[in-house]
Amino acid sequence: MADQIEKRYYAHTKEGRPPEEWQALDEHLKSVAAMALLFADSFNAGDWAYLAGLWHDLGK
């Protein structure tokens, strides 16, 4: 059976700091999505804003 390798992707890294202090991409995307939803709920666009928050780094 082949060994599985888990890849970690990072949104933000800090020069000179250990990887444990870097912001994981999934954490970053969920955080941005939640903030976007809260902001856009006031004009009834929370669901769209949540999706935009999840996808805002797509292609980087």
For residue 1, what are its two tokens? Answer: 């059976």
Mean pLDDT value across residues 29-49: 98
pLDDT tens digit sequence for 2-22: 677 778 888 888 889 998 889
Establish how many alpha carbons lie within 13 A of residue 48's alpha carbon, considering only the half-sphere containing its beta carbon: 5
- The yes-or-no verdict on residue 1 having pLDDT over 60 is no
Q: Are 33 and 54 in contact (CB under 8 A)?
A: yes
pLDDT value at residue 39: 98
pLDDT tens digit sequence for 41-60: 999 999 999 999 999 998 77
Q: Are 47 and 34 in contact (CB under 8 A)?
A: no
User: Of 6 and 31, which is predicted with more confidence?
Assistant: 31
User: Of 60 and 37, which is predicted with more confidence?
Assistant: 37
